[in-house]
Amino acid sequence: MLREKTREQRIEIASLEEEEFRQNIEELINVYRGAYQGLERYAYTKRRDIKNYLKWLYRSDSEVFLVAKEKDSIIGFTAGDRYWWDKNYGEISELHEFIINKKHQGRGIGRQLLNKMINKLEETHPIIGLWVGEGNSRAIRFYEKQGFKKVGQVGIWIRMIREKS
């Protein structure tokens, strides 16, 4: 596990080795489910589907599958891909998932975790893309504060892009 403790709080941001990922899969599933309460239309809801999705996220690019831990408990995670193809931008980095346990939101943990992820993704490409549910206004505002801009929409999904300045 590659670890970095943040100064502001006793939060550890880390990548997981494959064995650690396997050992923590149930906790990751629970964090995922909790974060999507009330937003189920944008999420997998069956345990097996969530597990398969998390495995896909990890295998896609394990170096940018990061967890936020407090007292050895996972309270959030983010997953991306440093080599993603976008039909409008070509090869970019992509942020696939960003989750903070609801009871830990509003403490700056999400900002710390996202900033760590942005730094890792921007090492490869100056453009980062993500999709966010149109009804997830809190997430949209959060991403906008982090420099993402709305560039399109497909169905219920809003496309957002951040370009390194």
Q: CATH code at 29?
A: 3.40.630.30
Can you give the pLDDT at residue 9?
58
Exposed/middle/buried for residue 2 (C-beta within 10 Å: 0-12, 13-18, 19+): exposed
Residue range 141-151, pLDDT digits in tens: 999 999 999 99
Can you give the pLDDT at residue 10?
82
Residue range 119-162, pLDDT digits in tens: 999 999 999 999 999 999 999 999 999 999 999 999 999 999 99
Q: Which residues of the chain have pLDDT under 50?
A: 2, 6-8
pTM of the shown model: 0.90
Task: Work out how many domains the chain is built from and give that number.
Answer: 1
Can you give the pLDDT at residue 107?
86
Strand, coil or helix: 80: strand
How many other C-beta atoms can be found within 10 angstroms of the C-beta atom of residue 137? 10
Domain residue limits at 140: 2-163
Question: Long-range contacts for 56-65 (Cβ within 8 Å, ≥24 apart)?
Answer: 57/96, 57/97, 58/16, 58/18, 58/21, 60/96, 62/15, 62/16, 62/18, 62/21, 63/15, 63/120, 64/15, 64/93, 64/117, 64/120, 64/121, 65/15, 65/16, 65/21
How many other C-beta atoms can be found within 10 angstroms of the C-beta atom of residue 45? 10
